[in-house]
């Protein structure tokens, strides 16, 4: 379906998709492997943390396995390990494809990727031995952050070089989001590290900076890359353009303008100046504009059904991701209203929103993108259909169980905390929601099963790509090489 049918002089000079994919194959496969491995690590740690809420004595005999260290370990492994590695893979592939430019070389990106993961390992070791800084998502000690910052620079430079050599004139919506995120993260990271870890910010300002960073790591880095992937892959998968493309511009610019302040709404009810909380709530209200634009555009493209065949998991993940994006946007607005935040402030509901934002929206988009891109990178189908099915259903079920048990636990907890008549002691409050925590641990166990299925499938795919002696051409591997974009 590529240039054969529409050979204009401009498109004829452009390299084929297969050439582009081959040029970035090694680093992207490395990022995918690292992402899947971290996902399993984070799922194990997340399950241990949830089990400790049910049975506090579980693994409580060693300092490094106590709840206070397992929770930041799980969170950092999930965000910086799985999230960032997957984001790098999706971003590099998406930018190279949409710029129609093969990467000039992949060695430096691979080195950057290796050191990024070394940095995470250093940081997690720091948390294990008790050097955590105590700021959410900045728990890793300063030396690890320095390694991560430099390696991010190397990876980011690789993407910027591809972009600077682009052979496609028009900038598609995916590139707006992806490239903005690329430059947003160093800004977020340096400001947060400077003010909280290396610097001298004090008192209330610490809470503000911490909430700002903790939210923006989703809202300004992982979220935009996930949106970019949806903007690219939904039209590509269903064969129908975005419903109202000019609306996408309004959506993007309002997102850019208001996105970074939304995190301040998590401070509602805490002892920071009222106007800081108001800025957060107002921004979340204004973020309904990009939410509307994205829902109309992507939802409209999806609702018509797919023009291509196939029953792969990518489209299902994209649909769920988009639905989660809409739900989390609306819930963030509704729950930050004072009448709700009075009950649910400082309860499990905050974590439920984080998981909804981070897992059900961002990770589902990444899963879909990975299911789409990996067969093209290795020029072979995914090794196991059964593992795909297992991953999809375990992940969806696990996410639903985790989010709903966190929401129920949070509302029960908030109601009990506000009811001094019937819940006089802390133990009484705990008793009000401890049942939901059993469901939470079960949900994390389900997620772990899904993560293992995904990891095994990714490792088998990479093994096949490296060691398979198959000389079958793309034509025989794929029924329709054109649709797989591998008929070079």
Partner 1 sequence: MKLRKRRKGTKMSQDANSDPRLEVSAASDQDIQAVHASLLHDQKEPKEGFSLMPLFVLGFVSSMIFVVAIYFIHNRAGLSDGLALATTIHHPGYDPQVHGAGDEEVEIDVFAVGQSLYGQACIACHQVNGQGIPSAFPPLASSDWVTGDEERLIKLVLHGLQGPLEVNGAQYNGIMPAFGPSGIYQWSDEKIAYVLTYIRQEWGNEAGEITPDQVTAVKEATASQTGAYTAADL
Residues 315-344 that bind partner 1 (CB under 8 A): 315
For the chain, the C-alpha Rg in angstroms (whole number) is 22
Q: Indicate which single residue of 190, 389, 470, 473 sits in contact with partner 1 (rule: CB under 8 A).
A: 389
The number of C-alpha atoms within 13 Å of 436 and in the hemisphere containing its C-beta is 21
For the record, the structure tokens of 389 come out as 């099915």
Binding region for partner 1 (CB under 8 A) out of 71-79, 138-146, 284-292, 430-438: 284-292
| Segment contacting partner 1 by CB under 8 A, of 60-68, 124-132, 215-223, 303-311 | 303-311
Residues 39-98 that bind partner 1 (CB under 8 A): 97-98
From 57, 62, 271, 307, residue interacting with partner 1 (rule: CB under 8 A): 307
The interface region with partner 1, picked from 37-45, 55-63, 137-145, 164-172 by CB under 8 A, is 164-172
For partner 1, which residue of 100, 215, 319, 391 counts as binding (CB under 8 A)? 100
Is residue 292 part of the contact set for partner 1 (CB under 8 A)?
yes
Report the residue from 83, 312, 329, 345 that binds partner 1 according to the rule CB under 8 A.
312
| Residue 395 contacts partner 1 per CB under 8 A | no
Structural tokens at position 302 = 């999806």
Q: Smallest distance, Å, CB 465 to partner 1?
A: 14
In the list 15, 186, 239, 435, the residue contacting partner 1 (rule: CB under 8 A) is: 239
Site for partner 1 in 256-275 (CB under 8 A): 273-275
At residue 141, what are phi and psi to the nearest 5 degrees? -65, 160
Other C-beta atoms lying within 10 Å of the C-beta of residue 358: 21
395: how many CB neighbours lie within 10 A of its CB?
27
Q: Nearest distance from residue 170's CB to partner 1, in Å?
A: 4
| Binding of partner 1 by 104 (CB under 8 A) | no
CA distances for 94 relative to 90, 150, 233, 249, angstroms: 6, 23, 9, 19
Among 64, 168, 393, 464, binds partner 1 (CB under 8 A): 168
The pair of structure tokens assigned to 425 is 């002691």
Q: Does 118 bind partner 1 (CB under 8 A)?
A: no
Q: Does 238 bind partner 1 (CB under 8 A)?
A: yes
73 Cβ contact partners less than 8 Å away, ≥ 6 residues apart = 45, 124, 127, 128
Count other C-beta atoms under 10 Å from residue 337's C-beta. 14
Q: Could you say whether residue 456 binds partner 1 (CB under 8 A)?
A: no
Question: Which C-beta is closer to partner 1: that of 64 or that of 253?
Answer: 253
Judge contact between 186 and 153, C-beta under 8 A: yes
Site string for partner 1, 199-228 (x = CB under 8 A): xxxx--x-----------------------
| Buried/exposed code over 27-62 (b: 16+ C-beta within 10 A; e: otherwise) | bbbbbbbbbbbbbbbbbbbbbbbbbbbeeeebbeee
Is 165 a binding residue for partner 1 by CB under 8 A? The answer is no
Structure tokens at 240: 């129908």
Q: Which of 381, 365, 354, 342 is nearest to 461 (CA)?
A: 381
Q: Is 420 helix (H, G, I), strand (E, B) or coil?
A: coil
Among 54, 161, 288, 346, binds partner 1 (CB under 8 A): 288
Stretch that binds partner 1, among 27-35, 43-51, 300-308, 320-328 (CB under 8 A): 300-308
Q: For residues 205 and 323, which CB has a smaller minimum distance to partner 1 in the complex?
A: 205
User: What is the Cα–Cα distance from 258 to 331, expressed in whole angstroms?
Assistant: 17
For partner 1, the closer of residues 456 and 482 by Cβ is 482
Buried b (16+ CB within 10 A) or exposed e, 163-182: beebeeeeebbbbbbbbbbb
Q: From the list 55, 190, 249, 470, which residue makes contact with partner 1 (rule: CB under 8 A)? A: 249
């Amino acid at each position: 379906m590529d240039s054969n049918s529409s050979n204009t002089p401009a498109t004829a000079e452009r390299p084929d998709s297969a050439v582009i994919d081959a040029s970035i194959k090694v680093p992207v496969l490395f990022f995918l492997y690292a992402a899947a491995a971290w996902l399993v690590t984070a799922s194990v740690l997340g399950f241990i943390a949830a089990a400790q809420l049910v049975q506090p004595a579980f693994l409580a005999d060693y300092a490094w396995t106590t709840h206070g260290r397992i929770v930041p370990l799980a969170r950092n492994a999930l965000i910086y390990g799985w999230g960032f590695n997957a984001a790098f893979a999706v971003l590099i592939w998406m930018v190279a494809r949409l710029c129609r430019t093969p990467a000039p070389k992949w060695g430096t990106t691979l080195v950057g990727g290796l050191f990024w993961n070394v940095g995470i390992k250093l940081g997690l070791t720091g948390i294990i031995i008790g050097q955590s800084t105590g700021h959410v998502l900045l728990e890793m000690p300063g030396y690890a952050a320095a390694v991560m910052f430099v390696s991010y620079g190397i990876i980011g430079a690789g993407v910027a070089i591809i972009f600077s050599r682009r052979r496609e004139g028009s900038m598609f919506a995916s590139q707006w989001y992806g490239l903005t995120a690329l430059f947003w993260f160093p800004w977020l990271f340096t400001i947060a590290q400077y003010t909280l870890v290396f610097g001298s910010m004090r008192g209330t300002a610490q809470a503000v900076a911490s909430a700002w960073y903790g939210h923006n790591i989703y809202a300004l880095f992982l979220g935009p890359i996930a949106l970019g992937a949806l903007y690219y892959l939904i039209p590509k998968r269903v064969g129908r353009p975005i419903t109202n493309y000019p609306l996408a511009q309004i959506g993007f610019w309002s997102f850019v303008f208001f996105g970074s302040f939304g995190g301040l709404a998590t401070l509602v009810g805490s002892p920071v100046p009222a106007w800081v909380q108001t800025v957060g709530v107002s921004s979340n209200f204004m973020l309904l504009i990009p939410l509307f634009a994205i829902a109309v555009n992507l939802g409209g493209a999806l609702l018509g059904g797919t023009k291509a065949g196939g029953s792969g998991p990518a489209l299902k993940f994209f649909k769920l991701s988009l639905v989660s994006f809409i739900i989390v946007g609306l819930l963030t607005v509704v729950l930050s209203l004072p009448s709700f935040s009075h009950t649910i402030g400082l309860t499990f509901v905050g974590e439920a929103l984080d998981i909804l934002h981070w897992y059900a929206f961002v990770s589902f988009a990444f899963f879909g993108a990975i299911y789409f891109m990996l067969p093209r990178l290795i020029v072979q189908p995914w090794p196991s259909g059964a593992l795909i099915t297992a991953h999809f259903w375990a992940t969806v079920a696990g996410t639903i169980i985790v989010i709903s048990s966190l929401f129920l636990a949070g509302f029960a907890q908030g109601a009990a905390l506000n009811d001094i008549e019937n819940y006089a002691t802390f133990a009484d409050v705990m008793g009000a929601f401890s049942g939901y925590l059993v469901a939470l641990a079960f949900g994390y166990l389900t997620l772990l099963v899904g993560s293992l299925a995904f990891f095994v499938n990714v490792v088998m795919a990479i093994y096949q790509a490296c060691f398979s002696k198959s000389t079958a051409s793309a034509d025989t591997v794929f029924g329709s090489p054109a649709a797989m974009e591998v008929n070079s």
